[in-house]
Amino acid sequence: MERSAFDTTIRLYQDRVKRYLGNVQGRIDTVVCGQLSIDVAGSRTWSVRSMRVNLTLLRAFRRSPIEFLDRLVASGASTVPLRIGPEHVLLVDDATEVWELLTVHARRTRKGRGLVRARLLLGDGLLTSEGEAHLRQRRALQPAFHPQRISGYLESFAAAARRAADRWTDGGEVDLVAEMSGLTLDGVGTALFGSDLRGSTPQITRALTDLLAGFRLAMAPGGVWLLRSPLPAARRIRRAKAELEYVVDDLVRRRIRKRANEPAVLDLLSDQPEFTDRQVRDQVMTLLLAGHETTAMALAWALAAIDQAPAVRAELEAEWDAAAERRPADQAPVTLPMTTLPATTAVLAETLRIWPPSWLFSRRVVEPLTLGERTVSAGTMCLISPALLHRDPRWWAEPERFWPQRWLSHEQGQPDRFDSKAQGQPRGAFLPFGAGPRMCIGEQFAWSEAATMLAELGRTWRIQVPGAPLGPGRSSMTLRPKDPVRAKTLRRNLA
């Protein structure tokens, strides 16, 4: 959010607090903090302390997702539901209880306020839909994410990495976030949509970045109104949304005119008679974002972490060189990298543990349920933070340490094997893709895309990140490094 827009909302909030302090019958309308929408009614139980807590959380959310989470924990929201206006907000930070909430009690919950507000930006796609609509959309898209289909995408991923690396120079400098965003968008365009998006990459990545920044505005006090306002940030968001809709409409038109032998996502959606043109557009908008943003951020965080860990880099380069010897450069990969690239997959798992792109999400309880030994009332807003769960010392040894070896199983006489359960942590302690019926449909797609691209780049290049270790930027839908991330590309000496 632009500073002026945010400061305006803060001043409005402070003015309302002052009016309340002068008259307890006064009314404060809407405060949104992070992924919470706080409808504050004038009530004698609404304390000055609660108002100060909300203001503190709101400011922390603007500055950093990690600061926001620290403030949330300090508020005691994980012990007793935090009264925020008429809402009761509970931070669920026990891994077993999180798993139960997302799986056993899935039918007793609905998506939280964050995804409700995301609908303003992305429409009613797979990420934001609910109930039967969500189930119908998921079934329509499922064939595109079958393991056999993903194997067919591997060459698209590898080719996209080669095209990106062909633009690099030895000793040159790149913007790591922008470079990874363009790279993954190229791979997603070819694999999922059967289209070459390279000509539109700058336009799409800029528009998606503006749309993600719009999440801060959507979650601010009066976010629905702010998105429609004449503020420069709001105009930029509306312009970005219009640009993306134009690109998506063009994708659909081109695909209808020329259908390939292997159906792409657009074909699967177009074959659903109950899907309107608007619904097809919303699905493609969602997949453009989810299909490249999370992977791009994972690659950026991973490359920065690898640069800080020489022993990890050496192990990876040995794995990549061995894979290159087994497969000539002009031969497409056919086996999913979880099997063929265990060390690479372990590095990505450790990256997703420490820097999960989806750092916070929520579920609203619609029927009373039991978590552990406590009853959670209907209407409670439950917050789940992978960023907290993934660094909790109850589940992880040396949680702040970047240690990919924790994900590898070692058996005498056998090569190392990637094992997501190697640590023996409880289910719910590692949730980079969620869990339950709303678990990310593209999990295997994302693992394969990231590992293939990382290995393909690493065969010939090293990335130096002088600013590493990276810190998170402002709170957004995803956990992004603080921009810009300047990196140097160095060609490996393979002689």
pLDDT of residue 83: 74
Mean pLDDT of 243-268: 75
User: Does residue 57 sit within a domain?
Assistant: no
Cβ contacts of 46 within 8 Å, gap of 6 or more: 20, 28, 40, 85
Least confident of 8-17, 28-37, 164-173, 179-188: 28-37
pLDDT of residue 127: 83
Is residue 1 assigned to a domain? no
What does the pLDDT read at residue 495?
Answer: 59
- 210 vs 366, higher pLDDT: 366
pLDDT per residue as tens digits for the range 64-117: 999 999 999 998 999 988 876 557 889 999 999 999 999 999 999 998 877 777
* CA nearest to 357, candidates 261, 434, 448: 434
Higher-confidence residue of 387 and 266: namely: 387
User: Residue 38 domain-assigned?
Assistant: no
Which DSSP symbol is given to 167?
Answer: T
Q: Return all residues near 18 (Cβ < 8 A) that are at least 6 apart.
A: none
Flag whether 238 is in a domain: yes
353 or 118, which is more confident: 353
Does residue 131 surpass a pLDDT of 60? Answer: yes
Evaluate whether residue 46 is within a structural domain. no
Count CB neighbours of 225 within 10 A: 11
Domain CATH code at residue 187: 1.10.630.10
Judged against a pLDDT cut of 50, whether residue 22 lies above it is answered with no
Whole-number pLDDT of residue 23: 41
pLDDT value of residue 289: 82
Mean pLDDT across 419-428: 84
What is the predicted pLDDT for the residue at 239?
92
Domain enclosing residue 207, as ranges: 92-491
| C-alpha to C-alpha distance for 116 and 123, rounded to whole angstroms | 10
CA distances in angstroms from 234 to 11, 243, 447, listed in the order given: 19, 14, 34
**Ordered alpha helix ranges (H), 38-167:** 48-63, 65-74, 95-102, 113-122, 131-141, 147-165
Strands 381-384 and 87-91: parallel
Residue that is written with structure tokens 């004698």 in the block: 44
Is the pLDDT at 32 greater than 70? The verdict is no
Lowest mean pLDDT of 97-106, 256-265, 383-392, name the range: 256-265
- Residue 119, pLDDT > 60, answer yes
Q: What is the pTM of this model?
A: 0.86
40 pLDDT band, cuts 50/70/90, is very low
**Residue 297 forms part of a structural domain:** yes
What pLDDT score does 281 carry?
85
Residue 59 resides in a domain: no
- Looking at residue 98, its pLDDT comes to 97
Q: What is the pLDDT of residue 414?
A: 82
Number of domains in the chain: 1
Q: Answer for the pair 58, 106: CB distance below 8 angstroms, yes or no.
A: no
Residue found by looking up tokens 């010897």 in the block: 325
pLDDT of 159-181, one tens digit each? Answer: 999 999 999 999 999 999 999 99
Among 41-50, 147-156, 419-428, name the one with the lowest average pLDDT.
41-50
Residue 82 forms part of a structural domain: no
Please tell me whether residue 74 adopts helix, strand or coil conformation: helix
Task: Please enumerate in sequence order all residues whose Cβ is within 8 A of that of 276, keeping only pairs 6 or more positions apart, or say none.
Answer: none
Q: Answer whether residue 50 shows pLDDT above 80.
A: no
- The 3-class secondary structure across 46-71, one letter per residue, is CCHHHHHHHHHHHHHHHHCHHHHHHH
Summarised one tens digit per residue, pLDDT across range 202-255 is 888 888 888 887 877 777 667 788 888 898 888 998 999 899 888 888 887 776
Summary mean pLDDT of the chain: 84
Per-residue pLDDT tens digits for 278-315: 888 888 888 888 888 899 999 999 999 999 999 999 99
pLDDT band at 391 (very low <50, low <70, confident <90, very high): very high
Q: Are 420 and 407 in contact (CB under 8 A)?
A: yes
Question: What is the pLDDT, as a whole number, of residue 31?
Answer: 34
